[in-house]
Structure 1
Amino acid sequence: MSHKKVKITAAAVLASSVLLSGCGLFGGDEKADLETDIQQDVTFVEDGENDNGTDSEVTGDDDNKAVSESTQRELYLIDSNGYVVSQSLELPKTNEVAKQALEYLVAGGPVEGMLPNGFRAVLPPGTEVDVNLKEDGTIVADFSNEFTTYDPADEKRILQSITWTLTQFDNVEKVQIMVNGHTQNVMPLKQTPIGEGVSRANGINYHTAETLDLMNTRPVTLYFMGESNDGEPYYVPVSTRLNLEGKDKYTAIVEALIAGPSHNSNLMIDISNEVALLDEPIIKDGNLVLNFNEAILGIEGRIVSKTIVDTLVLSLTEQEGVESIAITVDGEGDLMATDGTNVSEPVSRPENVNTGRF
């Protein structure tokens, strides 16, 4: 998907002389020794480009002394309303990034002193995990027995948290869950089916109407705003199905954002219901151009609220092939967001969401 940020690659040789695949953290079907084999040669490919236009690289070896000792990772935690929400937190640099991300989802673990107000970790205390990334993009998360002691009411939240945390890495497409080396076809307590593996296509914080026409709807993930116990806003992904009859998918997404979240959701959005698209959105080279009426403008000049831009960018870049958006009003550009960004030029999804700066 267009919004993933980090590619995990490994080049290491197992004691059995099996060469690990370069496309994965641990590669192949063989489970590597995490402390010896993998640490010898792991490359982290971060978003962002060098001056020559190629992806920048940060290597995990000791020769690169300039590398920071910490890095931001997206951890999907549970907020006070029960939503699974990304929080970008500073974690120590490690060669075992996927395993570390899951370890920071464990209640009572290293994440406890970092939790934003109102948020909680998702995995039961004492849970341990190993991970193995296969060549087809499936990552296997093998949990200890403590995993099965979760609150049954949290089962789908836990599954979504694990899946969305691991699929932040560019070459992770799907998650398979094991417990003590045994593949699970269903989640342990409420029997949620997981035998085919789980991906972002399964959704997050899923909301559906009581009556649903599967023939004329398609799944999408929209971003609305929540608020922490201390009043800090953050963005919440909500998966739903939208009616596409008579309209393109981008128009349907924008109209759903304008309509806003359900009234009992405890979520909000900063878009007036008078805002409307004047034309069908146009996509070219990954940039989606949205032409609105003047209702999208603030009271001072040609300025658009940053939170409106944020929700549009986050929601639309969930769509395959959309890398950025640009906004015009009545076909004219030269629009600024309230943070000074020129939003008539392509605005890309940020590297990290809910950092307190976005």
Structure 2
Amino acid sequence: MQRFKKQFAFLFGMIAIAAYASIRFFPTEEATTPVIQSETTGNHMQIYMMDHDKTLIPISIPVDEEMSEEDQVNIMLGYMSGKQSLKGFSPLFTKEVHMDSFQINNGIIAVDFDDSLKNYTKENELRVLESLTWGLTQFHDVERVKLMMNGETLTAMPNGSTPIPEILNRSIGINHFETSTSALHTSDEMTVYYTKKVQGNTYMVPKSKRYPSTRSSLESKVNEIIEDVSVSSTLTQPMVKDSIKMESMSFEKGTLKVSLDEHILGADKTVKQDVYDSLTLSLLSLPSVEHVQVLVDDVVVSLQDEAKTVSLQDISYNEVMF
């Protein structure tokens, strides 16, 4: 009897080791959690926060529908100053930053700070400028930003003298991982969305990407997004691994329709969520594109089968609850 007990214990141990090895060395594919959500749960605003790799990631937080833009900007500055923490992210300002005045007029949002605007390190200066610019241009009818300090319009950032363009908007780009490029004067810039995991959560991350000036047509830009291989080591581009190809496209009255091959579909013939998220946000970032429709074999594939045509007003992404 003792002999059988030893054999059973040995057999059980071998099964346990085999099970551990199958998980440790041959992990199953991780399930993808939808990052984009239909905007049905109230209003959200975005705050561009910095992770441990110093990547700026837009975080969507719920706000009251009646809240003014000025109050929302104060909330944004509070998060950027670390008044509210989020695991995996760091504040851009070392201490609280204060806004003296705020106004939106003729498409320009003007924000006047006191000396607390200097509460950041020089190495993060460009990130501070990008975070403020992208955060302030999310409001309705805002086309450009004017940054001020103590009543004076800034032409450069206060700590490291980073130049501020006369027309300050999202064209300054975001997450510039490249330190230099020989094609700077023969290329233009566009925004492509990637995915990144922070503390186990997946986020969509905008990144500026340069493309040849000769490829300036809308069709060329769409192809550039779909064929994108310019990936930082800290970011993942879902479209690359699937070799998705565009079969045709059309653009009319702000609506971009893109027909793709079946590589955007999974084994169950439904759209691959991570690929769809990256593609949709990237296409919606193109100038003049207000709505996006993705088709396969003339059949529309959509976000969680809830909308046939997608616009930025219909969706929210990177939602967090504090």
Report the TM-score when normalising by structure 2: 0.76
Measured at CA, do residues 149 and 97 of structure 1 come closer, stay the same or move farther in structure 2, by a change above 3 Å? closer
Can you list the C-alpha shifts for 1:46-72, whole angstroms capped at 9, x where unaligned? xx99xxxxxxxxxxxxxxxxxx9x952
Measured at CA, do residues 177 and 269 of structure 1 come closer, stay the same or move farther in structure 2, by a change above 3 Å? same
With a CA cutoff of 8 Å and minimum separation of 6, indicate the structure with the bigger relative contact order: 2
Are 1:158 and 2:128 matched, yes or no? yes
Return the offset for 1:214: 3.1
Counterpart of 1:212 in structure 2 is 183
Helix, strand or coil: the match of 2:133? Answer: helix
- After TM superposition, the structure 1 = structure 2 runs for residues 29-48 of structure 1, keeping only pairs within 5 Å, are none
Helix, strand or coil: the match of 1:214? Answer: helix
In the alignment, which of 105, 113, 129 is matched to residue 135 of structure 1? 105
Return the offset for 1:245: 3.0
Counterpart of 1:266 in structure 2 is 234
Cα distance in 2, alignment partners of residues 164 and 80 from structure 1: 20
Paired residues of 2:188 and 2:211 also in contact (CA < 8 A)? yes
Can you list the C-alpha shifts for 1:90-111, whole angstroms capped at 9, x where unaligned? 34664333542443234242x2
In the alignment, which of 37, 46, 52 is matched to residue 80 of structure 1? 52
Are 1:104 and 2:104 matched, yes or no? no
User: Which amino acid letter does the alignment assign opposite residue 221 of structure 1?
Assistant: T
Measured at CA, do residues 254 and 304 of structure 1 come closer, stay the same or move farther in structure 2, by a change above 3 Å? farther
Are 1:170 and 2:133 matched, yes or no? no
In the alignment, which of 311, 316, 319 is matched to residue 348 of structure 1? 311
Counterpart of 1:325 in structure 2 is 292
Counterpart of 1:282 in structure 2 is 250
Cα distance in 2, alignment partners of residues 334 and 98 from structure 1: 36
User: Which amino acid letter does the alignment assign opposite residue 280 of structure 2?
Assistant: V
Paired residues of 1:106 and 1:125 also in contact (CA < 8 A)? no
User: Which residues of structure 2 form unaligned runs of 5+?
Assistant: 1-38
Cα distance in 1, alignment partners of residues 320 and 223 from structure 2: 25
Bigger share in helix: 2
User: Which amino acid letter does the alignment assign opposite residue 214 of structure 1?
Assistant: H
Cα distance in 2, alignment partners of residues 332 and 260 from structure 1: 27
Return the offset for 1:266: 0.7
Can you list the C-alpha shifts for 1:204-255, whole angstroms capped at 9, x where unaligned? 112557321534x3221110001112x1101100012212536733443443
Paired residues of 1:77 and 1:87 also in contact (CA < 8 A)? yes
Cα distance in 2, alignment partners of residues 327 and 336 from structure 1: 7
Measured at CA, do residues 277 and 195 of structure 1 come closer, stay the same or move farther in structure 2, by a change above 3 Å? closer
Cα distance in 2, alignment partners of residues 213 and 156 from structure 1: 18
Give the percent of matched residue pairs that are identical in Structure 1 and Structure 2.
Answer: 25
In the alignment, which of 160, 184, 192 is matched to residue 162 of structure 2? 192
- After TM superposition, the structure 1 = structure 2 runs for residues 138-149 of structure 1, keeping only pairs within 5 Å, are 138-149=108-119
Helix, strand or coil: the match of 2:256? Answer: strand
Are 1:232 and 2:201 matched, yes or no? yes
Cα distance in 2, alignment partners of residues 186 and 149 from structure 1: 15
Paired residues of 1:101 and 1:166 also in contact (CA < 8 A)? no
In the alignment, which of 274, 277, 294 is matched to residue 310 of structure 1? 277
User: Which amino acid letter does the alignment assign opposite residue 57 of structure 2?
Assistant: V
Counterpart of 1:22 in structure 2 is none
User: Which residues of structure 1 form unaligned runs of 5+?
Assistant: 1-47, 50-67
Measured at CA, do residues 273 and 210 of structure 1 come closer, stay the same or move farther in structure 2, by a change above 3 Å? farther
Helix, strand or coil: the match of 1:259? Answer: coil
Tell me the number of residue pairs that the alignment of Structure 1 and Structure 2 aligns: 279
Return the offset for 1:164: 0.9
User: Which amino acid letter does the alignment assign opposite residue 305 of structure 2?
Assistant: G
